[in-house]
Amino acid sequence: MINVPQNLPEAIILCGGKGERLRPITNDIPKPLVKIHNKPILHYVISHLMQYGINRIHIASGYKSEMIKKYIISSNYDANIEISNSGDVDIIKRIQDILVNVEKDILVLYGDTISNVNINELILCHRHSSKEITMTVWPLKIAYGLVEIVSDGTVESFAEKPTLDKWINIGYFYINKNYYDLIFDNDIFQSFLQQSASNSSINAYKHHGVHITVNTLSELEEAQKNIKNIIME
Is residue 23 situated within a structural domain? yes
Is residue 153 situated within a structural domain? no
Enter the pTM of the model: 0.84
For the chain, the farthest-separated pair of C-alpha atoms sits apart, in whole angstroms, at 65
Alpha-carbon distances, residue 170 vs 31, 73, 205 (angstroms) = 17, 28, 10
Query: Over 195-232, what HEC string results?
Result: HHHHCCCEEEEECCCCEEECCCHHHHHHHHHHHHHCCC
Is residue 214 situated within a structural domain? yes
Which pLDDT value is given to residue 232?
Answer: 43
Is residue 122 situated within a structural domain? yes
Q: Which of 28, 106, 25 is nearest to 63 (CA)?
A: 28
Is residue 2 situated within a structural domain? no
Phi-psi region of 76 (alpha: psi -120 to 50; beta: other; left: phi over 0): left
Is residue 150 situated within a structural domain? no
C-alpha span between 41 and 43 (Å, rounded): 5
Give the model confidence (pLDDT) of 162-171 as tens digits: 666 689 889 8
**Which tops the pLDDT comparison, 154 or 10?**
10
Which pLDDT value is given to residue 220?
Answer: 81
Give the model confidence (pLDDT) of 205-218 as tens digits: 999 988 888 878 87
C-alpha span between 180 and 134 (Å, rounded): 14
CATH number at residue 86: 3.90.550.10
Summary mean pLDDT of the chain: 86
Count the domains in the chain. Answer: 1
Range of the domain at 217: 10-138+165-229
Is residue 149 situated within a structural domain? no
Is residue 44 situated within a structural domain? yes
